[in-house]
Amino acid sequence: MLANRRTAAAIGAVALAGALLSAGPAQADSASPSPAGPAKSAPKGDGAKAVCKRLPKTETRISAALARLNGDATVSGSIARIEQRVAEAKSAGHTEIHTYLNDRLTFRKSLVPTLQKRQADLKAVSTWCTAQGSK
């Protein structure tokens, strides 16, 4: 009984694969999009209303990320913590771990100016949203 189920499943899988393979080239040759499918349209605006709506949450997330990155060595995810780990890996002679952690440290340090720039940009956006009555 179990062998019959396995055989039936295998035959079904082969039939499905064959059907998909035979339909693939026919679909690839069609140059025009299918009229039955939903048409994707271009955005109608710049999404300002949605940006203004999400502004408080976005500001909170960026502030939290900067606080975490600038935290001391006891804060998980902080630059100070990974600097400590890099130093420990170097003193232990774990060259590969040191290289890996040092690359992560470089990336985290590069995040700080990016997030600070976004934070400054959001202040300007907040002022604009307030002037528009959207905030």
Distance CA(110)–CA(104), nearest Å, equals 10
In a domain, 7, yes or no: no
Task: Render pLDDT for 80-133 as a digit per residue (tens, 0 to 9).
Answer: 999 999 999 999 999 999 999 999 999 999 999 999 999 999 999 999 999 987
Distance CA(77)–CA(11), nearest Å, equals 52
Sign of the torsion angle spanned by Cα atoms 121, 126, 132, 134? positive
In a domain, 86, yes or no: yes
In a domain, 2, yes or no: no
Q: Per-residue pLDDT averaged across 63-70, rounded?
A: 96
Mean pLDDT, the chain, as a whole number? 82
24, two tokens: 């693939």
Distance CA(28)–CA(39), nearest Å, equals 18
In a domain, 34, yes or no: no
Q: Give the confidence band of 65 by pLDDT, cuts at 50, 70, 90.
A: very high
Residue 133 DSSP SS3? coil
In a domain, 61, yes or no: yes
Task: Render pLDDT for 13-47 as a digit per residue (tens, 0 to 9).
Answer: 555 555 555 555 555 555 555 555 566 777 677 88
pTM of this structure: 0.63
Closest CA to 111 of 62, 76, 72: 62
Query: Cα-flanking dihedrals φ and ψ of residue 36, to 5°?
Result: -80, -25
Q: For residue 94, give its domain range.
A: 48-132
Contacts of 104 (CB under 8 A, 6+ apart): 82
Structural domain count of the chain: 1
Sign of the torsion angle spanned by Cα atoms 8, 11, 17, 22? negative
In a domain, 31, yes or no: no
Distance CA(129)–CA(127), nearest Å, equals 6
In a domain, 19, yes or no: no
Q: What's the confidence (pLDDT) of residue 66?
A: 96
In a domain, 118, yes or no: yes
